Homo-oligomer: A and B are copies of this chain.
């Protein structure tokens, strides 16, 4: 409880900011959440009631204190910055509290605070610590000023009916219009930019327009400064999300971009219902909200590109997003998401969400296998998500067939993530960053982010010649993306595939990933086919960054028990200790690990001269900035391309409570890969003698017949793919 007291002291009393100089944004919510849990446990209040009670208690503690408006001086993280930021959130809170409770004291506080701001704001020039691009006046960058106005405009809208005409005039002219003008006509380069900073600016100015009843601001916000529609909110809606609601930089930045979209769109819906803003572009904003939800596993966002891995659906932006989407759709599956969020915000929509949740109306959220096209037209690659079922803790696979994702993008074309039983199984490192932790490079992205986390080898993605995709050049990356192939979503069979020819000069490669359900296996499994094509000599590494403790391999490990050295010198390899090496047995590599009471095996058919290299992150890391995670990679050097076919298999049960273990060994005896032209056939044989096959056609249509010679027997199928089930499976189906 003391730490909560500290937060209060820090951000609300505003007196001991030096004691928490690394504090970030609206930390006050922490109290809401923590106190909420204990309070809810005690009194069985609904989640929203707890949020409301906490907000009232939090604000109550501020009402008697002097409201501090310091002269702008400090950059982000400093005293004046944090104080104005906290003031903005406080004003939002009191506005919402007035609206929700009708208690005049909130309105009076808000009025006085805004009048106080109106007194000083007009005289403030550019911030003394202004950033070079897009400087602010209250803050060092105008992005923060937009965020402040977004809060304050909503506050004004909520309490304006309590003001005298004189008060209204003062606040509107000296604070709201002054700030809105500064953010619009005063900063056209940001306001007209089709970029999330532009969305914050247009949303703030548009909300101001609605609040003060000036449609010119609204029109500027919607259509850009010149009203042409070439810029502004509607244009941003057209461009910043793909038609499937995918955000180019990935979910971590998606959630940040989402908030001004949904907040302003909601105001548009209320004030200009004729615009049908939520129906525009085939309901793009709903898709953006749903898309973000679908991009989570175990409550955390898929950590593709620069991402803080702990970030997930409890994020503030998605609390608003889910409440608004529920208001729009009535989809009771969203109530399950709200239950997992377990936190609410101070809006009527959130109140309704909490009430319906408490009333037991929740149904399971419809998690499903989806392909999210990337790019404004959806034709720049795709994020492919395969789920074995709608169970949020079931087997799930993500294949990153997207485009680069701009400056925050990682060089991991066709990178693979696998989840099961609530955990990451094959994982992405995410960003190398300790957010807001001063001792770790001030909480910024670490040098290791560019040098390790963005490099291809830190992902489950094919590396050629120990060099990252596009040679690590983000401009080349932005100009190229995979050509996406099959996407199949059938009962018991999901497939994604894609190919890229531009990641390396003379190597094109493709990856097909299938999730299949066959009675020969105790659970659904994944088949992963990676093929590279080249006419020159290259080395190929296919890393598997596994999560767990190594249990078993089908080969003898040559470890380095007395010394360790880095695996390479550049492109991220310098951060990997080489901890062991091995040779496959009869062209087969099988690696089994244990994670939280389940076993996972990767059984791969590899070229007979291949090596398996085991790694641990942490070489060249004198400041211990990186997490010491394990991995192994399939490695081959060839003159004519390579193929790696792997079966990724969850199995067994390690139960230390009841002291039994079953199924600790992989069920896979062999994996074989047959090719004929562009056609492929993958044959899995289990230790129990079952055979499961997957045919993938190189080309042709739905009626094209494909035949491959498998051990002297022709295997034939029609169309782009076919799963050949085991006999046991077929018998069970009959």
Measured CA separation A3–B660 after assembly (Å)? 13
Tell me whether B661 and A22 are in contact (CB under 8 A).
yes
Of the candidates B616, B621, B657, B660, the one whose C-beta lies within 8 Å of that of A311 is: B657
**Complex: how many Å from CA A579 to CA B564?**
11
A443: B residues at CB distance < 8 A: 661
Given A437-B594, A437-B664, A594-B437, CB of A658 within 8 Å of CB of B26: yes
A324-383: which residues lie under 8 A (CB-CB) from chain B? none
A551 nearest CB neighbor, chain B only: B439
Query: A622 vs B559: C-alpha distance in the bound complex, in angstroms?
Result: 5
Chain A contacts with B in 1-31, Cβ cutoff 8 A: 2-3, 6-7, 10, 19-20, 22-27, 29-30
Q: Residues of B contacting A664 with CB < 8 Å?
A: 22, 437-439
A623 to B551 alpha-carbon distance, docked (Å): 9
Chain B residues in 8 Å Cβ range of A25: 658-660
Complex Cα–Cα for A30 and B522 (A): 16
Q: Which of A443, A627, A659 is the most central at the interface, judged by chain B CB atoms within 10 Å of its CB?
A: A659
- Cβ–Cβ < 8 Å partners of A24 in chain B: 655, 658-661
Whether A523 contacts B3 by the Cβ 8 Å rule is yes
| Complex Cα gap A623–B550 (Å) | 9
Contact of A22 among B22, B565, B662 (CB under 8 A): B662
Closest to A598 in B: B3
- Residues 537 to 556 of chain A near chain B (Cβ within 8 Å): 549-552
CB distance from A32 to the nearest CB of B (A): 10
Residues of B within 8 Å of A312, CB to CB, are: 657
Complexed CA–CA distance, A559 and B661 (Å)? 40
Mask for A645-663, Cβ within 8 A of B = 1, else 0?
0000000111111111111
Known: A522-B2, A563-B564. A659 touches B29 (CB 8 A): no
Distance in angstroms between the alpha carbons of A19 and B522 in the assembled complex:
12
Q: Please state if B657 and A314 are interface contacts (CB–CB under 8 Å).
A: yes
A182 CB-CB contact with B under 8 Å: no
How far does the alpha carbon of A561 sit from the alpha carbon of B312 in the complex, in Å?
Answer: 33
A7 / chain B contacts, CB cutoff of 8 Å: 653, 662
**A436–B657 alpha-carbon span in the complex (Å):** 12
Taking a contact as CB atoms under 8 Å apart, the answer to whether B523 and A653 are in contact is no
Is there an interface contact between B592 and A27, defined as CB atoms closer than 8 Å? Answer: no
Interface membership of chain A positions 223-262, coded 1 if the CB is closer than 8 angstroms to chain B and 0 otherwise: 0000000000000000000000000000000000000000
Structural contact, A623 and B557, CB atoms closer than 8 A = yes
Question: Is A102's CB within 8 Å of the partner chain B?
Answer: no
| CB–CB A30/B660 < 8 A | yes
Residue of B nearest to A687 (CB): B19
Cβ–Cβ < 8 Å partners of A622 in chain B: 557, 559, 561, 580
User: Complex Cα distance A25/B656, Å?
Assistant: 11
Cβ–Cβ < 8 Å partners of A656 in chain B: 308, 310-311, 435
Determine if A689 is an interface residue (Cβ-Cβ < 8 Å).
no
Contacts A559-B622, A616-B628: A661 and B437 contacting too (C-beta < 8 A)?
A: yes
Enumerate chain B residues within 8 angstroms of A561, measured Cβ to Cβ.
Answer: 566, 619-622
| Given A662-B23, A663-B6, A562:B620 Cβ within 8 A | yes
Closest partner residue, chain B, to A28 (CB atom): B658
Query: Is B437 within 8 A of A657, CB to CB?
Result: no
Chain B residues with CB under 8 A of A623: 557, 559
**Please, how many angstroms separate the alpha-carbon atoms of A662 and B23 in the complex?**
5
A566 and B562 in contact, given A523-B3, A653-B7, A656-B435 (Cβ under 8 angstroms): yes
In the assembled complex, the CB of A201 is this many whole angstroms from the nearest CB of chain B, namely: 21
B624 and A550 contacting across the interface, CB-CB below 8 Å: yes
- Bitwise interface map of A from 286 to 326 toward B, beta carbon under 8 Å scored 1, else 0: 00000000000000000000001011101110000000000
Say if the beta carbon of A577 comes within 8 Å of chain B: yes
B-chain residues with CB within 8 Å of residue A616 when the two chains form the complex: 618, 628
A634 CB to closest chain B CB (Å) equals: 18
Shortest A665–chain B CB gap in Å is 7
Q: How far is the CB of A393 from chain B (nearest CB, A)?
A: 12
Q: A6-B522, A628-B616, A662-B10 are in contact. Are A551 and B27 (CB under 8 A)?
A: no
Across-interface contacts of A177 in B (CB, < 8 A)? none
The answer to whether A487 has its CB under 8 Å from any CB of chain B is no
Tell me if A440 counts as interface (CB < 8 A to partner B).
Answer: yes
A516-551 with Cβ < 8 A to chain B: 522-523, 549-551
- Known interface pairs A522-B3, A594-B437, A628-B628. Does A30 touch B562 (Cβ–Cβ under 8 Å)? no
A549 and B624 contact, Cβ closer than 8 Å, known pairs A2-B522, A30-B653: yes
Is residue A98 within 8 Å, beta carbon to beta carbon, of the partner chain?
no
**A549 to chain B: which residues have CB within 8 Å?**
624, 627
- With a CB–CB cut-off of 8 A, which chain B residues contact A566? 561-562
Q: A557-B622, A563-B565 are in contact. Are A3 and B663 (CB under 8 A)?
A: yes
Report B-chain residues with C-beta under 8 Å of the C-beta of A440: 551
A20 in contact with B557 (CB, 8 Å):
no
CA distance A657 to B255 in the complex (A): 11
Is A445 interfacial (CB-CB < 8 Å)? Answer: no
Closest to A22 in B: B661
Contact indicator A621/B559 (Cβ below 8 Å): yes
Looking at the assembled complex, report how far the CB atom of A8 sits from the nearest CB atom of chain B, in whole angstroms: 11
14 additional contacts, CB 8 Å, given A6-B522, A549-B624?
A2-B522, A3-B522, A3-B653, A7-B662, A24-B661, A25-B659, A30-B655, A436-B661, A438-B664, A439-B551, A561-B620, A562-B620, A616-B618, A628-B628
Can you give 8 A-B contacts (C-beta < 8 A)? Answer: A22-B660, A23-B662, A25-B658, A26-B660, A314-B657, A437-B661, A559-B622, A562-B565
